[in-house]
């Protein structure tokens, strides 16, 4: 028979409906097709896959286009698509600055100088903290629940997230009807697309919307275990502000308002539009869409809020969702899908990584469960590609930056508000961006820093009477910059300065004069704040910040508040250094300012080694008597990683002291803190230690079945920090050199990393076997000189006229 649309060829059929072992048993005529399907469809090494639907939220699979996201559950009889829109935070524009702060600040400083930590903390608590004391939490955009009528079974069930196409697929058979679903979040069309297909029968669907409920974080579940995403969600009653209405043929329009929080009223409107397109009878019945007798149905889902900026909430979300769904309707499904895949692959395919030979043919959750008992180096490679996928999906030019959960959040009241914790977590989200060849994904962070330079200027002036701008340890959609939560967490003035590192890194990895001009005022303002607020240490050890904390650790006096924690001195040293470098590159626009920075930078209190041989976390040698010896934060190791101030080449004594500190802190911690330890040991050149820590991160205690990082609960920074650490084991870029295989563990004797980036705008392909470098290929600016290090050997390479160079063999062994 000649193939037609309704009777596709066997090959085309298999491409659309690849057959897993279970289905082959149910359909003996198709046995033997599995290998074909594998070769054509499921790229095991770039897929997460499962043989059962998602139960808990951390089993569902994320899709996202930077701004708009969904968790796909792959449930046969009732599909659940849980929606997120990255501007749907609680509250509205607000001013958190505390008018009492300015008068109290010098008193807090004096109390610290007098060693009166208790009174300093009490005064900071009553007079310095933001009003309200907490910031606005991120929310969720509700669920689409799609009932599939008449299902009696789901044989040969398989669901997959293909990282190469960014499509979540669900396949199963019910009797003779073979079901296929595909879900993706299209960046070019700005809609989520959920496609249902049935072969050998038809589909009857009922589609409804469920408003988001409160996440029960922090409460005990009925079995007494703290809630950690495994227990599902309690539903609140439907808010009176929510409306669900027909909106033209085949469409539902949902309109709602964001929540109030901490006394700040909800100022945002949001809208979700669901448009069904297909070959069956499509109708709106009350608050639901009905599809009868279709063989294919495509749901086009758009969501938007009225957020325009942190001071403007007058956008029109209804117009936006109508326009996007209408435009997407104008494209056939195949076009929508092809445009999505092309857009995704343009970024995703820039880097490939192979660790070990054969991929492990086991479901992803089983691979995670087997970490530590079965060799599976490919899982670390998958972790890297998954993090790249997650970064592309949660942070794209024009979107909000990736928050504590990236983009994905089940309901209101998420852990830590799922906002931006900028004393490590938001920065860690961007650690892999440059090396992983996704530099443009940092653009949302640049815009956030531009906002913070405005709100943070008010905080700097009203709280400190300082010029420039400051942000403390958290921010939210409204760019609040004042200290929150309490002095032990919030009284830390370096959050904004640390964010500037992501911007400076972006410049160093992709040097560009226009970008440098854009970040110059941000660097200048961040530095100016410290010019105005650094004070002389009472003990004459140099310039310090005060009041501050070493995030979020208490020192031996039982308080966190102090003067001059090591991390602040390191961050300010970096910030002044970047600003001075930018100043030179821009033709020295302000010589007096640069001279001031040079002077103050030289006078910053230096890092110190304490009595235990450790790197001191504070100016005083308090470390050995701090109450939490294994505290998750290792703030004073900022200087080792992500910074390079302390390193094995130039400051070996301080690097040795950092090792002592890391030994005391221990290898196992929360997800992000485990990832940081991994990156630190990699930077210190210890591949075995880094690998042992990595196994802890990849195992089921720190990785959920969907490969989301477990703090616990879910926090996405561990995915990103862990990925930065893995890349750091293979290629490092600091101190004017590119280090090849600086921390390669015995467990990865062979592999390849292609498309990794280094400082100076260089891209590399690195191949190794038997634990030794085989070849390195370089791409960059024609004529550029690149210094490579392999083992003890240094090689200077000049890129040719096409900007290329290639070296074969193990540089370390060359005569």
- Minimum Å distance from CB 424 to ligand FUC? 7
CA neighbor of 408 nearest in space, from 165, 225, 161, 676? 161
Q: 495-509 vs 513-533: helix axis angle to the nearest 10?
A: 150
- Minimum Å distance from CB 672 to ligand FUC? 6
User: By C-beta, is 352 or 474 nearer to ligand FUC?
Assistant: 474
User: By C-beta, is 98 or 550 nearer to ligand FUC?
Assistant: 550
User: By C-beta, is 65 or 135 nearer to ligand FUC?
Assistant: 135
User: By C-beta, is 691 or 711 nearer to ligand FUC?
Assistant: 711
Site string for ligand FUC, 56-75 (x = CB under 6 A): --------------------
- Minimum Å distance from CB 748 to ligand FUC? 29
- Minimum Å distance from CB 124 to ligand FUC? 17
81-120 residues near ligand FUC, rule: CB under 6 A: none
E strand map for 524-660: 535-536, 543-544
User: By C-beta, is 159 or 632 nearer to ligand FUC?
Assistant: 632
User: By C-beta, is 633 or 789 nearer to ligand FUC?
Assistant: 633
- Minimum Å distance from CB 405 to ligand FUC? 10
Is residue 273 involved in binding ligand FUC (CB under 6 A)? Answer: no
Omega before 712 within 30 of 0, i.e. cis = yes
How many Å apart are CA 282 and CA 293, to the nearest integer?
Answer: 9
Q: Are 435 and 442 in contact (CB under 8 A)?
A: no
Site string for ligand FUC, 414-443 (x = CB under 6 A): --x----x---x------------------
- Minimum Å distance from CB 552 to ligand FUC? 5
User: By C-beta, is 93 or 486 nearer to ligand FUC?
Assistant: 486
- Minimum Å distance from CB 68 to ligand FUC? 24
Vertex 312 angle, CA 416 and 259, to 5°? 40
How many Å apart are CA 389 and CA 403, to the nearest integer?
Answer: 15
Taken in order 628, 633, 635, 637, the sign of the CA dihedral is positive
Neighbours of 636 (CB within 10 A): 28
User: By C-beta, is 343 or 713 nearer to ligand FUC?
Assistant: 713
Is residue 404 involved in binding ligand FUC (CB under 6 A)? Answer: yes
How many Å apart are CA 241 and CA 803, to the nearest integer?
Answer: 59
204-263 residues near ligand FUC, rule: CB under 6 A: none
Residues in binding contact with ligand FUC, number by CB under 6 A: 11
DSSP 138: B
Neighbours of 198 (CB within 10 A): 20
- Minimum Å distance from CB 489 to ligand FUC? 6
Among 178, 273, 583, 632, binds ligand FUC (CB under 6 A): 632
Is residue 552 involved in binding ligand FUC (CB under 6 A)? Answer: yes
Omega before 488 within 30 of 0, i.e. cis = no
Q: Are 806 and 773 in contact (CB under 8 A)?
A: no
Site string for ligand FUC, 499-538 (x = CB under 6 A): ----------------------------------------
- Minimum Å distance from CB 503 to ligand FUC? 22
Phi, psi (deg, nearest 5) at residue 391: -70, -45
Q: Can you spell out the DSSP letters for 288-339? A: EEEEEEESEEEEEEEEEES--BTTB----HHHHHHHHHHHHHTS-HHHHHHH
676-715 residues near ligand FUC, rule: CB under 6 A: 711, 715
User: By C-beta, is 256 or 417 nearer to ligand FUC?
Assistant: 417
Chain center to CA of 95: 27
Please name every residue paired with 312 in a beta bridge, in sequence order, or none if there are none: 309
Distances in Å between the Cα of 322 and the Cα atoms of 309, 335, 500, 550, 787 are 21, 20, 38, 49, 54
Q: Are 197 and 299 in contact (CB under 8 A)?
A: no
User: By C-beta, is 416 or 720 nearer to ligand FUC?
Assistant: 416
User: By C-beta, is 632 or 665 nearer to ligand FUC?
Assistant: 632
Site string for ligand FUC, 715-754 (x = CB under 6 A): x---------------------------------------
Please name every residue paired with 808 in a beta bridge, in sequence order, or none if there are none: 775
Beta strand 737-740 pairing with 785-790: parallel
- Minimum Å distance from CB 715 to ligand FUC? 6
User: By C-beta, is 425 or 733 nearer to ligand FUC?
Assistant: 425
- Minimum Å distance from CB 641 to ligand FUC? 18
| Beta-sheet strand order (sheet of 296-305) | 47-50, 155-162, 167-174, 177-186, 191-199, 296-305, 269-278, 251-257, 243-246
Q: Are 764 and 739 in contact (CB under 8 A)?
A: no
User: By C-beta, is 559 or 672 nearer to ligand FUC?
Assistant: 672
Residues 6+ apart with CB under 8 A from 56: 229, 230, 231, 232
Site string for ligand FUC, 355-394 (x = CB under 6 A): ----------------------------------------
User: By C-beta, is 455 or 635 nearer to ligand FUC?
Assistant: 635
- Minimum Å distance from CB 551 to ligand FUC? 7
How many Å apart are CA 804 and CA 782, to the nearest integer?
Answer: 7
Site string for ligand FUC, 636-675 (x = CB under 6 A): ----------------------------------x-x---
- Minimum Å distance from CB 616 to ligand FUC? 20
- Minimum Å distance from CB 632 to ligand FUC? 6
Residues 6+ apart with CB under 8 A from 236: 211, 213, 214
Distances in Å between the Cα of 526 and the Cα atoms of 403, 470, 666 are 22, 6, 34
- Minimum Å distance from CB 417 to ligand FUC? 9
User: By C-beta, is 421 or 524 nearer to ligand FUC?
Assistant: 421
Binding site for ligand FUC (CB under 6 A): 404, 416, 421, 425, 552, 632-633, 670, 672, 711, 715
């Amino acid at each position: 028979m000649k193939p037609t649309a309704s009777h596709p060829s066997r090959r085309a059929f298999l491409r659309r409906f690849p057959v897993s072992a279970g289905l082959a048993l149910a359909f003996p005529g198709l046995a033997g097709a599995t290998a074909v399907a594998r070769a054509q469809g499921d790229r095991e090494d770039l897929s997460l896959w499962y043989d059962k639907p998602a139960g808990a939220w951390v089993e569902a699979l994320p899709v996202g286009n930077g701004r708009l996201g969904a968790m796909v559950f792959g449930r046969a009889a009732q599909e659940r698509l849980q929606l997120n829109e990255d501007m749907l935070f609680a509250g509205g524009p607000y001013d958190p600055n505390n008018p009492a702060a300015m008068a109290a600040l010098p008193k807090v400083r004096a109390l610290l100088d007098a060693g009166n930590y208790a009174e300093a903390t009490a005064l900071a608590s009553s007079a310095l903290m933001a009003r309200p004391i907490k910031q606005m939490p991120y929310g969720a955009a509700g669920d689409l629940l799609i009932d599939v009528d008449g299902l009696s079974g789901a044989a040969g069930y398989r669901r997959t997230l293909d990282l190469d196409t960014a499509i979540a697929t669900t396949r199963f058979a019910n009797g003779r009807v073979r079901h296929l679903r595909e879900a993706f979040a299209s960046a070019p069309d700005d809609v989520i697309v959920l496609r249902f297909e049935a072969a050998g029968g038809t589909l009857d669907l009922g589609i409804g919307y469920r408003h988001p409920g409160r996440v029960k974080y922090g409460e005990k579940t009925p079995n007494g275990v703290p809630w950690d995403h495994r227990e599902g969600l309690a539903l609140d009653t439907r808010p009176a502000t929510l409306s669900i209405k027909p909106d033209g043929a085949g469409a539902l329009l949902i309109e709602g308002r964001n929540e109030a929080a901490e006394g700040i009223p909800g100022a945002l409107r949001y809208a979700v539009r669901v448009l069904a397109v297909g070959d069956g009878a499509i109708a709106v019945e009350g608050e639901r869409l009905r599809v009868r007798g279709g063989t294919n149905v495509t749901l086009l889902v758009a969501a938007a809020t009225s957020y325009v900026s942190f001071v403007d909430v007058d956008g029109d979300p209804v117009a936006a969702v109508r326009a996007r769904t209408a435009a997407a309707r104008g494209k056939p499904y195949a076009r929508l899908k092809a445009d999505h895949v092309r857009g995704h692959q343009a970024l995703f395919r820039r880097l490939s990584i192979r660790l070990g030979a054969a991929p492990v043919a086991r479901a992803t959750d089983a691979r995670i469960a087997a970490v530590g008992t079965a060799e599976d180096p490919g899982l670390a490679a998958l972790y890297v590609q998954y993090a790249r996928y997650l970064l592309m999906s949660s942070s794209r030019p024009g979107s909000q930056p990736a928050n504590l959960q990236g983009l994905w959040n089940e309901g209101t009241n998420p852990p830590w508000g799922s906002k931006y914790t900028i004393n490590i977590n938001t920065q860690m989200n961007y650690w892999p961006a440059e090396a992983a060849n996704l530099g443009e994904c940092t653009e949302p962070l640049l815009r956030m820093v531009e906002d913070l330079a405005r709100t943070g200027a008010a905080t700097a002036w009203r709280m400190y009477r300082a010029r420039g701008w400051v942000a403390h340890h958290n921010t939210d959609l409204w760019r609040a910059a004042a200290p929150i939560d309490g002095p032990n967490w919030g009284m830390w003035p370096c959050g904004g300065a640390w964010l500037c590192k992501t911007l400076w890194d972006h410049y160093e990895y992709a040097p560009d004069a226009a970008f440098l001009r854009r970040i110059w005022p941000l660097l200048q303002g961040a530095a100016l704040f410290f010019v105005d607020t650094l004070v002389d240490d009472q003990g004459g050890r140099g310039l310090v910040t005060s009041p501050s904390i070493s995030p979020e650790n208490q020192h031996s006096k039982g308080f966190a508040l102090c003067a001059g924690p090591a991390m602040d001195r390191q961050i300010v040293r970096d910030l002044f250094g970047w600003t001075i470098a930018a100043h030179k590159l821009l033709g020295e626009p302000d010589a007096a300012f640069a001279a001031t920075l040079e002077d103050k930078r030289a006078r910053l209190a230096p890092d110190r080694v304490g009595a235990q041989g450790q790197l001191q976390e504070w100016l005083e040698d308090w470390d050995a008597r701090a109450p939490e010896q294994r505290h998750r934060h290792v703030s004073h190791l900022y200087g080792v990683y992500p910074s390079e101030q302390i390193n094995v080449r130039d400051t070996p004594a301080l690097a040795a002291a950092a090792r002592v500190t890391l030994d005391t802190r221990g290898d196992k911690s929360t997800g992000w803190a485990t990832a940081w330890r991994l990156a630190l040991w990699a930077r210190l050149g210890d591949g075995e230690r880094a690998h042992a820590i990595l196994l802890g991160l990849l195992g089921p205690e720190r990785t959920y079945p969907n490969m989301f990082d477990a703090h616990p609960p879910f926090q996405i920074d561990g995915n990103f920090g862990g990925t930065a650490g893995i890349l750091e084991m293979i290629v490092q870029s600091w101190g004017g050199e590119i280090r090849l295989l600086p921390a390669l563990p015995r467990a990865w004797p062979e592999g390849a990393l292609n498309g990794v980036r280094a400082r100076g705008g260089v891209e590399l392909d690195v191949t190794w076997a038997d634990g030794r470098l085989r070849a390195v290929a370089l791409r960059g600016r024609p004529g550029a000189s690149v210094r490579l290090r392999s083992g003890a050997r240094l090689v200077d390479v000049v890129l040719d006229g096409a900007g290329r160079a290639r070296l074969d063999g193990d540089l370390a062994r060359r005569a």
